[in-house]
Amino acid sequence: MIQLGVNIDHVATLRQARYPGQPDAGEPDPVRAAHEAELGGADGITVHLREDRRHIQDRDLELLKRLVKIKLNLEMAATDEMIAIAERVGPHTAMLVPEGREEVTTEGGLDIAGAAERFASVVARLKAAGLVVSAFIDPEPAQVEAAARAGFDVCEVHTGPYAAAFAAAGGDRRVRGRAKTDVGEEIDRIAAIGGDIRQLGMRWNAGHALNYHNVGPIARLDGIEELHIGHAIVSRSVFVGIRQAVAEMKRLMNTDV
């Protein structure tokens, strides 16, 4: 059964919009959201502690580490500050992601091949702290090979281009979108890179822009272990609550159709 990691960043986004600088007093509390996600069947909780603290705060991460009963995945930039926080707090997984101040959300994967020595050093530090270390990458063979050489345990494949193609084509696998690739080609690309990841002895996860409409074809790829989904689940929870939103996504991911 494929696993679901629920990203709760945007619960914190809503809190910060009304209570900046008051994470203890403000609502909704992402720590409470994590508990509801657990009850809905989540296999893991993901948060991204950004340099600018735009949503998740240090307090949130520390409480989640104490209270979450399932895997805690910390998305983080490969900076000295974040490495030190990961070493101190000790999430189950540290997922290295690129980070830009002007971006709304993470766009594109890490260029591990372009900074191999730096990433190998970061991975070694995080592994020495007892963490599983994951890389968020675009579906490119050079990045998979570099991730393996750097010592990563997991590669999470960026599914944003697939989601964009799906939306442009209305899910029709034979219609070409503006990126000049069709849905089927994007799925084949992700599947092929997943095979490379597994062949090199790493776990294969995926995520970014997955939702209730497009998750099925990715969830049914052979050998994929875990999907990380956040915005779609938090958006759905506005209408039905986190617990039901997670349960609905988990059901879709594990339905063979």
Instruction: Check if the beta carbon of residue 220 is closer than 8 Å to that of residue 255.
Output: no
Distances (CA, A) of 251 to 44, 177, 242, 246: 16, 28, 14, 9
Q: What pTM does this model have?
A: 0.94
Q: Which residue of the set 10, 208, 226, 228 is catalytic?
A: 208
Q: Which residue of the set 10, 35, 48, 228 is catalytic?
A: 48
Is residue 75 annotated as part of the catalytic site, yes or no? yes
Report pLDDT digits (tens) over 93-137: 999 999 865 555 556 899 999 999 999 999 999 999 999 999 999
Encode the chain (257 residues) as per-residue pLDDT tens digits: 899 999 999 999 999 999 998 888 889 999 999 999 999 999 999 999 999 999 999 999 999 999 999 999 999 999 999 999 999 999 999 999 998 655 555 568 999 999 999 999 999 999 999 999 999 999 999 999 999 999 999 999 999 999 999 998 888 877 765 555 689 999 999 999 999 999 999 999 999 999 999 999 999 999 999 999 999 999 999 999 999 999 999 999 998 76
Place of tokens 């849905």: 183
What SS3 class is residue 249?
helix
Domains in the chain: ranges and CATH: 3-253 (3.20.20.70)
Is residue 92 annotated as part of the catalytic site, yes or no? no
Does an H or E element contain 95, and which? strand 93-96
Q: Which residue of the set 36, 75, 140, 186 is catalytic?
A: 75
Is residue 140 annotated as part of the catalytic site, yes or no? no
